[in-house]
Structure 1
Amino acid sequence: MKFDAIKLGLATAIIFGVAWILCSLFVILAPGGMMQMSGHMVHSNFEGMGWSLHWTGFFVGLVTWSVFSGLFVWAITATYNRLLA
């Protein structure tokens, strides 16, 4: 079964963009909880650290995560489709 690499890459980019927006909202609304959760995710203690979220970083992160995740999944799908042939 072949997949449309462009559509799958675009869908991935959209979902990663939405996830970035939601994560940024959580950082704004509950910075302490998000810092603690981030520390647990990477097995670290981030108690002495703080967030630095500004508009430039928000948009750069949004575009970067969306574009690279979309390209990555596009490449995986294109490779998968070629391996089927």
Structure 2
Amino acid sequence: MKFKITIEYCTLCQWTPRAVWMTQELLYTFHQQVSEVSLIPTDGGVFKISVNDQLVWDRKESGFPEPKAVKQKIRDVVEPDRSLGHSDR
């Protein structure tokens, strides 16, 4: 089953490069499972990542994510038994 990733990010905070970088990392890891990655520019200091409308990361609660942590959260939602290789270490 394919899934959709959504990244909401604050443009006023100039977090566009961070959102694009995270998109690249997620597409590299989940390229066969992803049907879509949506970037949603917003304001208010928002940086949230969701999978199929399920929130997996919120900067206001957990700070800025490293790709490894986000990949693990997404994997846990969509394919819990999958190994992420070096990202699991």
Q: Which interval holds the TM-score relative to the shorter structure? A: under 0.3
**TM-score in terms of structure 1 length:** 0.27
Q: Which has the larger radius of gyration?
A: 1
The answer to which structure has the higher strand fraction is 2
Give the TM-score normalised by structure 2. Answer: 0.26
Q: Which has the higher contact order (CA 8 A, sep 6+)?
A: 1
